[in-house]
Every structure is written in C-alpha cells, then in structure tokens.
C-alpha cells in the first residue's frame, strides 16, 4: 500500500507542476539581431509580433489535449504494471505473490533448459544419400562433420547425422526433397522435451497452476484477465 500511495503522490505532484507551468506568464519574444534575416532557406523582413499561447493558436488546444491524454495513458499503464507486480497487496498476500513469482521463474528456466537439452540430444543417422537429396552442400558438410564427431568413418559416402540445430533444421525443411525426412524432422522439432526425463508437461501444468494462483491473489478470476 505504501508503494501505491507514493505513486499516486508522485502523480499528483506531476500534475500540480504542469498546472503551475501553464499559469506562468509567457515571456516576450526577443527581437531579432537585425531588421533583415537572410538564411539559407528563407528571407524575410521582421516587422513585429506577439507571443502566441495555446489559446490563440487554433491547433494548440488540440495538441495540448493530446499531450494530456498521452500523459494519462502513460500513468495508467504504469499503475497497472505496479499492481501486476503486487505492490498493492497486503504483507501476507505479497509474500505468497513473491513465492509464486520466484517459482515461476525457476520453472521457466528449467523449461528452456529441457528444450535445449532435447535439441542437442536428437540425431537422425542417414546412410542413403538419396534420402537427403536437395540439401545444400553446406548442410551436408555440417551433417558429415557431426557424423565424424560421433566416430563414424567414410563420411564422403555417408552416413550423415541430421540434428535439430537451427541451420540444419531450416535447411531440411526448405530444401530436402524427401517428404518423409521433412516430416520426421518437423515432428521431432515440435515435440521436443515432451517425454522422458526432459518432459516439460509437468512443468507446463505447474506454471498454469501458478498463473491461476497469481491471478486470484490480484483479485481476478483467471490469468487471462491480467
């Protein structure tokens, strides 16, 4: 509650300062250095003038209103962000909120780690060059280097190892003539970390539970309302 009060106080002081600045008299415009002003892009003779205020300028009022609307929207956004971070919660709820946030961050990190590990663990050994027709030379070279690193010999005639690393995956999906190969690689890519010790399904379920708990702590029915 203290943080929310401070935020509203800052907002009030901001509007007060703006109101005071608008009521100050506008200083007179200084005269030009000489009666004639010849620039690169224009030439004119100064004969006199008076300062223009937003009230005198037909476009000034609407411009000022747009500025105020933008300010209100920005403040409203900041307030919403502060509320979503739990600044208005009571001590007990705020402690629970922080625990939910910390666990969510750990689960999100674990989720990404499982995806990376599953990507590195996958490999498809291809021994028939016809299965990889259409792949560029650079992709074949990467697949051959991977096979060498795994202890395979005779890489000039195969085998080749297809992985889910970005460059190889995109190349297979774009250039491989073999429909079955594209299907295998695609299915493996979109189902990474969905089974075995790297299964992300329990992590996803727990993240959904934490999101619901977070929403209820903030006074909402579900996470979609945030």
pLDDT tens for residues 20-37?
555 455 555 555 555 544
Cis before residue 99, ω within 30 degrees of 0? Answer: no
Type and span of the H or E element at 67: helix 58-84
Angle (deg, nearest 10), helices 58-84 and 2-23: 170
Q: What is the pTM of this model?
A: 0.65
- Asked whether residue 226 carries a pLDDT value surpassing 90, the answer given is no
For residue 128, what are the contacts with CB-CB under 8 A and spacing of at least 6?
158
Q: According to the model, what pLDDT value does residue 222 have?
A: 92
Q: How confident is the model at residue 111 (pLDDT cuts 50, 70, 90)?
A: very high
Tokens 């990404």, located at residue: 112
Q: How many helices (H) does the chain have, and how many strands (E)?
A: 7, 4
Rounded to whole angstroms, the Cα distance separating 167 from 135 reads 12
Type and span of the H or E element at 96: helix 91-121
Mean pLDDT, the chain, integer: 80
Q: How confident is the model at residue 85 (pLDDT cuts 50, 70, 90)?
A: confident
Region 106-119: what's the mean pLDDT? 97
Nearest in space to 188 (alpha carbons), one of 161, 164, 165 = 164
Grouping H, G, I as helix, E, B as strand and the rest as coil, residue 38 is strand
Rounded to whole angstroms, the Cα distance separating 61 from 78 reads 26
Structure tokens at 177: 């003539």
Structure tokens at 93: 């709820």
- Neighbouring-strand partners of residue 162: 124
Grouping H, G, I as helix, E, B as strand and the rest as coil, residue 94 is helix
């Amino acid at each position: 509650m203290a943080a929310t009060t401070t935020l509203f106080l800052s907002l009030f002081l901001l509007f007060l300062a703006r109101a005071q600045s608008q009521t100050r008299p506008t200083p007179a415009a200084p005269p030009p250095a000489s009666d004639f002003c010849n620039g690169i892009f224009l030439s004119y003779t100064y004969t006199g003038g008076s300062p223009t205020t937003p009230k005198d300028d037909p476009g000034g009022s609407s411009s000022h209103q747009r500025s105020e609307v933008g300010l209100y929207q920005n403040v409203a956004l900041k307030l919403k962000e502060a509320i979503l971070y739990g600044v208005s919660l009571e001590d007990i709820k705020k402690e629970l909120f922080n625990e939910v946030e910390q666990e969510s961050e750990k689960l999100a990190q674990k989720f990404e780690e499982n995806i990376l590990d599953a990507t590195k663990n996958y490999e498809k050994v291809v021994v028939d060059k016809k299965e990889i027709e259409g792949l560029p030379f650079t992709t074949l070279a990467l697949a051959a280097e991977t096979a060498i690193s795994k202890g395979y010999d005779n890489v000039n005639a195969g085998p080749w190892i297809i992985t889910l690393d970005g460059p190889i995956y995109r190349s297979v999906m774009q250039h491989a003539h073999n429909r079955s190969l594209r299907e295998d690689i695609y299915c493996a890519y979109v189902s990474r970390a969905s089974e075995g010790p790297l299964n992300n399904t329990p992590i996803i379920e727990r993240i959904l539970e934490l999101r619901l708990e977070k929403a209820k702590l903030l006074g909402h029915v579900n996470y979609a309302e945030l």
